[in-house]
Amino acid sequence: MMMMMMMMMMMLITGKSLLWVAILGLIVFYIYALISFALLRSSFDPDNELYCATLWQCTVTVVRYGLVGDLFDVSNSSLYLINFAFVSLVSWRQVYN
């Protein structure tokens, strides 16, 4: 009986730690979404299901493609390579990736 109680306590502690790690992960995704919304909103393409008209849409898109696939493999990257006026934006995007 004592062994069972100790096992239950260990699982509770482990579950609590996993919950805090998940919350930290969501905070990191939110920071990426905030940067995307502020600086890289024009590189999101709704035709590729990359929505970023609002901060909430950016957050959902970043979480979805951050967990499922590579976010900026499907984004519109050729738009900025044509015009050299967006060199700073391209460099920020490289730092972001």
Q: Could you report the per-residue pLDDT of 75-97, keeping only the tens digit for each?
A: 555 444 445 555 566 566 666 65
Domain extent for 79: 2-96
What's the angle, vertex CA 82, arms to CA 78 and CA 72, rounded to 5?
A: 20
Number of domains, the chain: 1
Rounded to two decimals, the pTM is 0.64
What pLDDT is attached to residue 77? 52
Block residue for tokens 């502690």: 13
37 contacts: CB under 8 Å, gap ≥ 6: 52, 54, 55, 58
- Supply the pLDDT for residue 10: 82
How many residues appear in the chain? 97
Which regions of the chain are under pLDDT 50?
A: 78-82
